[in-house]
Amino acid sequence: MIMRGFSIAFFLQRFSGAATLVSACACYIGLSLIGISSRPLHAEPAKGDLFAQFSLGPGKPSGELIQQITEDPLGSGLQLVRLSNSDDSVDQALALAIIADRSHPTEFSAKLDLTLGYYIEDWLFLGAGIGSLSVILENVRTAPPDPEIEILYASGFFADDPVATETLQTFFRLSDIASLRRGRQEFERFNTLDFKVGLRFPGWDVGSFDPYINGSIGLGNYGGGATIARLGAELGTRYYFSDSYLFTELDISQTFLTYPGSAVPGNGSPVVRSLSLQFGAGMDF
């Protein structure tokens, strides 16, 4: 099981999708900037300053792991064969409902980041923090058929036991109806301890905006003794007021796994790439 970190369940329940979250964050930042425009602006971070910041935002995942999240074809196929071969009218109706269902799962990611940093120079900073990347499935079957039970039934394993057969028929009736339901669920979560190095551009005359670019590497634990490694690059800008700031950044990352005995990170392991838009707030001190 993936190491549990910060929960983002509340964030996912408040916003129905990535588009809603982006709009809400954009409105929040816009109103905040209007409200603080009359306050004295902080000039620039200086050598020796510390900073702390928090961000979250939606993204679009891709990669080998995402290709594996499509509904299991074996279990679904055996379920459809079983229902189609049944003489029961309810089973036949369920088979028709499954055939008529043309819905497909969609996915998005949600990333949370908490960072503490230090300015070695006014143009160079280091940071460390905690990151959590979740892959969320929309419109997925929340109770898909169990391929192992379907295989046992198709093999005739229970054919000589009338009690087991009757019990199994009752189980199939309930599970077949439940398998039609689609909804949202968290597919995977990767929690990492991140280390960052970044560059500012103090020579640029951009007013209260502070553009930056940084790279990051994160490490964490995964089920089965695997190690999570995350490589990322972020391009963003801060907007300063007083000693605090709001910021937004474009985050590109790749998460892969290294299992014991594998010399190459991600060799034969599921990989997730994510492009996300982060919104956050921070403070220099």
pLDDT per position as a tens digit, 91-105: 999 999 988 887 777
Contact in structure between 140 and 108 (CB atoms under 8 Å): no
Q: Residue 136's Cα: distance from chain center in Å?
A: 5
Third-level CATH fold of 9-70+107-140+187-284 = Porin (2.40.160)
At 17, is the pLDDT very low, low, confident or very high (cuts 50, 70, 90)? very low
Residues 19, 27: Cα–Cα separation, whole Å? 12
What are φ and ψ of residue 169, in 5° steps? -65, -40
Nearest alpha-carbon partner for 271 in 25, 63, 43, 13? 63
Cα dihedral sign for 184, 185, 188, 191?
A: positive
CB burial class (10 A; 0-12, 13-18, 19+) of residue 276?
buried
Nearest alpha-carbon partner for 45 in 195, 199, 197? 199
Length of the chain measured in residues: 285
Q: Write the CA distances from 260 to 3, 210, 227, integer angstroms.
A: 17, 42, 8
Residues 172, 150: Cα–Cα separation, whole Å? 9
Contact in structure between 217 and 233 (CB atoms under 8 Å): no
The distance in angstroms from the start CA to the end CA of the chain is 38
Least confident among 25-34, 57-66, 250-259: 25-34
At 156, is the pLDDT very low, low, confident or very high (cuts 50, 70, 90)? confident
Token pair in block for residue 130:
């905690």
Higher pLDDT, 266 or 79: 79
Query: Which letter does DSSP use for residue 39 in this model?
Result: S
Which range, 10-19, 21-30, 157-166, 234-243, has the best average confidence (pLDDT)? 234-243
What is the radius of gyration, based on Cα positions, of the chain?
Answer: 25
Token pair in block for residue 267:
């060799």
Residues 78, 148: Cα–Cα separation, whole Å? 10
Per domain, the residue ranges of the chain are: 9-70+107-140+187-284, 71-104+145-178
CB burial class (10 A; 0-12, 13-18, 19+) of residue 144?
middle
Residues 10, 13: Cα–Cα separation, whole Å? 5
Query: Which pLDDT does position 35 carry in this prediction?
Result: 43
Residues paired with 51 in a beta bridge: 117, 284
pLDDT in tens, 51-86: 999 999 999 998 877 766 656 678 889 999 999 999
